[in-house]
Amino acid sequence: MSTLTANPLAALARPWLWAWVAAALAFAATLGLTSGRGAGELAYAALSFGAFAAIVGMGQMLVITLGPGNVDLSIPATMTLSATLALKVMGSDPGNALLGLAVALATGLGVGLANFALIYLLRLPPIIATLAASLIYQSLAIWSNRGLRIKPPEGLADFATGRFLGLPNVAWVGLVLAVVTWVVLERSVAGRWLLASGQNLRAARLAGIPVQAVRAVAYVTVALFAALAGYLLASFSGGAALNMGAEYLLMSIAVVVIGGCSIAGGNSNVPGIWGAALFMFLVVSMLNSYGAGAGVRNILTGAIIIAIVIAASTRRSRP
């Protein structure tokens, strides 16, 4: 008999559960504003837009799992640069969709390696390294874009905005990535190395774990996830805008914290990332229904993050 079956209250200790409970409550509250109308449309929109937050959130989670001080602030610029270069290569040609994807992922790979080089070779704090690098990536995106808005190939746009078995295609992509990420973290040696490195870096090094290789893979992976999200978002929205990734800087951190991952590192929570991504979209939808502006949404997001961090810190400090 499993622990959860023997003790149903043990399920309440699962951090991911509360993210999904919060998403369900936000869904109910938003429907309450419309007297229950449009439930299917709201759920579909939440899965569509939540997928992008979930993808970048899973990448950010891998970096934050490395421990305090590890965070990637170049996610928005990586999304913009990858999407811009991919669209320029594709040039609206239906036969170039895979080529565009390869360019986007290659850009993400280059960004990830560059970020880690700044961190490892120059000994820069990750926050400083990724923030400074993001200015370069954003400048490259501006230079390559030159004010032009290139439309994605029609077939790619149809895929990004389409659905399969009633679910958005972008949500399927996010779900597949979530399953792969969960399997790697929970069932592979690489996942155990990442968690061990985040829990105690010195102990992991003494145990023979290649901690720098683990860090490199984490920073490359978050860049690859951001590049894929940018590629899909540009295809979904009809083009790459220079500010397309701006909202995903705070969002990528928010879904990690709200999803139940520890900001102290050594802990991952893939199901919670998806629950938090849906919750964030539903909160924004609810605020939009009340006519709240971007400033109010950012204040609420920051307040939620602070409250959860304080609650988690209080829980850890209890004897």
Q: Which domain holds residue 109?
A: 16-29+38-310
Would you state the pLDDT for residue 36? Answer: 59
10 within some domain: no
Give the pair of three-digit tokens for residue 208: 């023979």
237 within some domain: yes
5 within some domain: no
Would you state the pLDDT for residue 130? Answer: 94
9 within some domain: no
Q: Return per-residue pLDDT of the chain as tens, 319 residues.
A: 444 444 555 445 566 677 778 778 878 877 776 665 667 787 888 888 889 999 999 999 999 998 888 999 999 999 999 999 998 888 767 778 888 899 999 999 999 999 999 999 999 999 999 999 999 999 998 888 775 667 888 888 888 888 888 889 999 999 999 999 999 988 899 889 998 888 888 888 888 889 899 999 999 999 999 999 999 998 888 877 888 888 888 888 888 888 877 777 777 888 889 888 988 888 877 777 666 666 776 777 677 767 766 665 555 444 4
**CA distance linking residue 175 with residue 173, whole number of Å:** 5
**CA distance linking residue 63 with residue 129, whole number of Å:** 14
319 within some domain: no
11 within some domain: no
The CATH number covering residue 226 comes to: 1.10.3470
Single out the residue of 204, 208, 195 nearest to residue 264, CA to CA: 195
**CA distance linking residue 169 with residue 180, whole number of Å:** 17
Give the pair of three-digit tokens for residue 252: 């990528």
149 within some domain: yes
Q: What are phi and psi of 190, to 5 degrees?
A: -60, -40
List the beta strands (DSSP E) in the chain.
163-164, 167-168
**CA distance linking residue 73 with residue 220, whole number of Å:** 13
Q: How far is CA 257 from the centre of its chain?
A: 11
Would you state the pLDDT for residue 227? Answer: 95
6 within some domain: no
Q: How far is CA 81 from the centre of its chain?
A: 17
Q: In the chain, how many domains are there? A: 1
